[in-house]
Structure 1
Amino acid sequence: MSWLWAIIVGLILGLLARAILPGKQNIPLWLTAVFGILGSILGNAVASWIGVEDTKGIDWIRHLLQLIGAVAVVGVGDMVWQSIRGNRNSGRRT
């Protein structure tokens, strides 16, 4: 069941990251979920590194770091995806 939650949270974080980033990201939905999962893992690692422990309530700092990680991973991942696909400037204004 934890994999299902990871996919759902990854998809939500990936979609939020795509909404925050300017311009159009030309990555498929499955890759958005993968990037969201990776961003969530990155955010959790940073949260552990700076000493954010689990709290009794909602871990707002951890969730914010997960979102920041997802934005970073989606941004970099989109550039890598476009360079692999050969569409470096597709959908972007220069």
Structure 2
Amino acid sequence: MATLGSIIVWAIFGLVVGLIARMLYPGRQSMGLMMTMLLGIAGSLVGGFISWGLGFRPEDGAFRGAGWIMSIVGALIVVWLSLYASSRGTGSYRGA
């Protein structure tokens, strides 16, 4: 039952972080609630890796998810990367 509880907490946390990141990012992002939730979870992981890379490591050495701020920053990075990748794939290449 603890595993199910952890999954539910991660899902709710991801949804909240994803919604905040989508509100902060300018422009329109067309994604549903499930994609917003996955955005928040991916943002938390990206934010955790960024904070780990900057030297903020827990004492016991275990990887922990980022806090709220780094999760939102990570989600903003994920939104930017996804919109950048989708705009590059539309065939709007203006090369020689």
Question: What TM-score, normalized by structure 1, do the two folds share?
Answer: 0.69
- 1:5 aligned to 2:9? yes
Shift of 1:72: 1.2
Unaligned runs of 5+ in 1: 55-60, 87-94
Aligned-residue CA RMSD (Å): 2.7
Q: 2:44 aligns with which of 40, 52, 58?
A: 40
4+ runs deviating over 2 angstroms = 74-84
Which of structures 1 and 2 has the bigger CA Rg? 2
Unaligned runs of 5+ in 2: 59-65, 91-96
Count residues with an aligned counterpart.
81
User: Secondary structure, in 3 states, of the residue corresponding to 2:70?
Assistant: helix
Partner residue, 1:26: 30
* Cα distance, 1:62–1:53 mapped onto 2, change above 3 Å: farther
1:1-94 equivalences in 2 (<5 Å): 1-53=5-57, 62-78=67-83, 80=85
Shift of 1:80: 4.8
Question: What TM-score, normalized by structure 2, do the two folds share?
Answer: 0.68
Relative contact order higher in (CA < 8 Å, ≥ 6 apart): 1
Shift of 1:71: 0.9
* Cα distance, 1:46–1:29 mapped onto 2, change above 3 Å: same
